[in-house]
């Protein structure tokens, strides 16, 4: 409802740790100020750091001479006033973000990550990312992946080349050159910039930009229906080990063999497995489960593009929205096993890491299979985030295990079982049922 009441904005993603006076805080502040001069509202996650400074900057533009930019006409809600330049915020209830920052003029809070994500990337005319931690990468890869699928057509800009360029270069090497997991077209969707003027120019010059990518009423109904069905299904299932990985992995990629061996070992221990998609990864995981127990199936949550039949895969639901899909495969997981993947895999991985980091999801083993892919990427990310203006704690950088050995994966999952917090998923359902009037079964199954 809030999104339908306001005109399209420019959304900024960035770290919560940046303090007033720091380079990134002041950069985001100047970006907000420049858009304010052009009469373009800005939106953020409404927390501290860069999320605070960008909306603060827009408010400071109230006393400056204006150079109004043309208003968008496509994908704009009829309930919105095109001249409404109030700052916007979509916040999530987190221990370290107790309330909306004081510079948000119109905003709302949510208890559930998919709602926050949709609130941030819908009804926008551009996306800006400044340096941040896991949460910033989650948001960046979410919008980037949507752009690759043709679901997000607005300009995307990552600001501060010194931070982002090394990450992008490493990603290009491991995901574009070494493995064909991201196409050249997809990789080129995000532009790099250094200054607020570059950001404003890149976004305001874009053509064929829409606010809402689809009818908000249709989007709202689908989102609620998909989440409700998924929660109903998950409530009846045992917690599973979730596998993610690239849909473009070659059939002879050695990591698929490792995935099959891991799935076989888990099935021998009686542990359920879950996978998204009907690609080579799903086939490898399902075959591993069947080798250990011919009567067992892997749990499958698929996108609507996944229509292929896979032996041993119990298709539980087809999901259209990427925010919904990423949340479904993460909920009620015992552990996460990630094989090399493209933008969608990176979005799913950093979404889970962010939720663990912020306490929005219980800690669980996160194991990355394929050192030649994951090690350079996480070495670069760790170096960039732990620089002169740290965006992440050393403990958070240690949340992942990178290995080539199925035995190490199985050992990590077994160790993690002793630390799992039972009852968390049931508590989440109770909270959502109260907050959003979502379905609640009251079933007594394991949670």
Question: Model confidence over 84-107: pLDDT tens digits?
Answer: 999 999 998 766 666 899 999 999
* pLDDT for residue 169: 99
Q: Is the pTM of this model over 0.85?
A: yes
Inter-residue contact 41 to 86 (CB < 8 Å): yes
- The 10s digit of each residue's pLDDT in 30-43 is 999 999 999 999 99
- The 10s digit of each residue's pLDDT in 367-420 is 999 999 999 999 999 999 987 778 888 888 889 999 999 999 999 999 876 555
Is 232 a residue whose pLDDT tops 90? no
Is 54 a residue whose pLDDT tops 50? yes
Q: Where are the domains of the chain?
A: 3-213, 218-369+405-436
Query: How far apart (Å, rounded) are the C-alpha atoms in residues 275 and 245?
Result: 9
* Of the ranges 68-82, 189-203, 306-320, 416-430, the best mean pLDDT one: 189-203
Inter-residue contact 49 to 17 (CB < 8 Å): yes
Confidence of residue 315 (pLDDT cuts 50, 70, 90): confident
* pLDDT for residue 435: 61
Is 421 a residue whose pLDDT tops 60? no
* pLDDT for residue 441: 45
Q: Does domain 3-213 have CATH number 3.40.50.450?
A: yes
Tokens 């799903």 -> residue: 282
Residue closest to 285 by CA, chosen among 260, 265, 254: 260
Minimum mean pLDDT range among 98-102, 174-178, 241-245, 432-436: 432-436
- The 10s digit of each residue's pLDDT in 272-283 is 999 987 689 999
* pLDDT for residue 229: 85
Confidence of residue 446 (pLDDT cuts 50, 70, 90): very low
* pLDDT for residue 417: 65
- The 10s digit of each residue's pLDDT in 219-231 is 888 888 888 888 8
Same fold, 3-213 and 218-369+405-436: yes
* pLDDT for residue 274: 93
Query: What distances in angstroms separate CA 412 from CA 41, 240, 262, 368, 405, one per listed residue?
Result: 46, 15, 11, 11, 11
Q: What is the mean pLDDT of residues 57-85?
A: 93
Confidence of residue 111 (pLDDT cuts 50, 70, 90): confident
* pLDDT for residue 226: 84
Tokens 């295990």 -> residue: 401
* Side-chain half-sphere exposure of 251, counting CA atoms within 13 A: 2
- The 10s digit of each residue's pLDDT in 318-369 is 777 777 788 888 888 999 999 999 999 999 999 999 988 888 888 999 999 9
Confidence of residue 244 (pLDDT cuts 50, 70, 90): very high
Q: What burial class does residue 145 get, using C-beta atoms within 10 Å of its C-beta: 0-12 exposed, 13-18 middle, 19+ buried?
A: buried
Q: What is the mean pLDDT of residues 249-261?
A: 97
* pLDDT for residue 323: 76
Give the relative orientation of helices 113-121 and 322-330 as an angle to the nearest 10 degrees.
Answer: 160
Query: How far apart (Å, rounded) are the C-alpha atoms in residues 385 and 162?
Result: 11
* pLDDT for residue 420: 53
Query: What distances in angstroms separate CA 362 from CA 335, 365, 427, one per listed residue?
Result: 10, 10, 12
Confidence of residue 307 (pLDDT cuts 50, 70, 90): low
Inter-residue contact 399 to 356 (CB < 8 Å): yes
Higher per-residue confidence, 250 vs 445: 250
Inter-residue contact 350 to 138 (CB < 8 Å): yes
Count Cβ atoms below 10 Å from residue 12 Cβ, excluding itself. Answer: 30
- Spell out the SS3 assignment of the chain: CCHHHCCCEEEEECCCCCCCCCHHHHHHHHHHHHHHHCCCCEEECCCCCHHHHHHHHHHHHHHCCCCCCCCCCCCCCCCCCCCCCCCEEEEECECCECCCCCCCCEEEEECCHHHHHHHHHCCEEEEEECCCCHHHHHHHHHHHHHHHCCCCCCCEEEECHHHHHHHHHHHHHHHHHCCCCCCHHHHCCEEEECCHHHHHHHHHCCCCCCCCCCCHHHHHHHHHHHHHHHHHHHHCCCCEEEEECCCCCCCCCHHHHHHHHHHHHHHHCCCCEEECCCCHHHHHHHHHHHHHCCCCCEEEEEECCCCCCCCCEEEEEEECCHHHHHHHHHCCEEEEEECCCCHHHHHHHHHHHHHHHCCCCCCCCEEEECHHHHHHHHHHHHHHHCCCCCCCCHHHHCCEEEECCHHHHHHHHHHHHCCCCCCHHHHHHHHHHHHHCCCCCCCCCCC
Q: Does domain 218-369+405-436 have CATH number 3.90.1150.10?
A: no
- The 10s digit of each residue's pLDDT in 137-167 is 999 999 999 999 888 889 999 999 999 999 9
* pLDDT for residue 97: 62
Tokens 């752009």 -> residue: 147
Higher per-residue confidence, 291 vs 313: 291
Is 253 a residue whose pLDDT tops 50? yes
Q: What is the mean pLDDT of residues 99-121?
A: 89
Is 7 a residue whose pLDDT tops 90? yes
Inter-residue contact 351 to 366 (CB < 8 Å): no
Query: How far apart (Å, rounded) are the C-alpha atoms in residues 31 and 54?
Result: 6
């Amino acid at each position: 409802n809030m999104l339908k009441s306001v005109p399209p904005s420019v959304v900024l993603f960035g770290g919560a740790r940046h303090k007033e006076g720091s380079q990134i805080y002041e950069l985001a502040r100047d970006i907000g100020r420049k858009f304010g001069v052009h009469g373009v509202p800005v939106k953020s996650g409404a927390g501290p750091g860069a999320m605070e400074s960008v909306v603060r900057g827009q408010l400071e533009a109230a006393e400056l001479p204006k150079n109004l930019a043309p208003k968008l006409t496509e994908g704009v809600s009829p309930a919105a006033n095109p001249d409404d330049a109030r700052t916007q915020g979509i916040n999530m209830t987190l221990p370290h973000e107790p309330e909306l920052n004081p510079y948000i003029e119109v905003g709302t809070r949510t208890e559930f990550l998919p709602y926050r994500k949709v609130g941030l990337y819908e009804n926008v005319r551009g996306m800006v990312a400044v340096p941040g931690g896991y949460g910033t990468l989650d948001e960046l890869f979410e919008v980037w992946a949507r752009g690759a699928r043709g679901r997000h057509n607005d300009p995307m800009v990552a600001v501060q080349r010194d931070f982002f360029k090394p990450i992008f270069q490493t990603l290009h090497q491991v995901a574009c050159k070494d493995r064909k997991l991201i196409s050249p077209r997809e990789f080129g969707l995000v532009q790099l910039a250094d200054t607020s003027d570059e950001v404003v120019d890149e976004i305001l010059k874009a053509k064929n930009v829409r606010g809402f990518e689809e009818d908000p009423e249709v989007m709202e109904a689908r989102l609620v229906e998909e989440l409700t069905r998924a929660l109903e299904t998950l409530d009846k299932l045992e917690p599973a080990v979730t596998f993610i990985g690239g849909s473009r992995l070659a059939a002879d990629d050695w990591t698929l063999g490792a995935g099959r061996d891991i799935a076989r070992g888990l099935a021998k221990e009686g542990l359920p497995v879950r996978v998204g998609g009907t690609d080579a990864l799903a086939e490898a995981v399902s075959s591993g489960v069947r080798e250990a127990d011919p009567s067992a199936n892997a749990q499958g949550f698929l996108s609507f593009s996944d229509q292929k039949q896979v032996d041993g895969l119990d298709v539980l639901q087809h999901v259209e929205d990427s925010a919904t899909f990423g949340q479904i495969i993460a909920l009620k997981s015992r552990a996460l096993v990630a094989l090399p993947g493209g933008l969608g895999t990176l979005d799913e991985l950093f979404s889970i890491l962010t939720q663990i980091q912020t306490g929005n999801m219980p800690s669980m083993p996160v194991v990355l299979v394929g050192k030649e892919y994951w090690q350079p990427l996480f070495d670069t990310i760790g170096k960039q985030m732990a620089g002169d203006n740290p965006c992440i704690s050393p403990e958070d950088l240690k949340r992942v295990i990178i290995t080539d050995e199925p035995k190490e994966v199985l050992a990590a999952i077994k160790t993690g079982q002793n630390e799992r917090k039972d009852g968390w998923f049931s508590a989440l359902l109770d909270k959502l049922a109260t907050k959003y009037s979502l379905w609640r079964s009251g079933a007594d199954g394991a949670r």
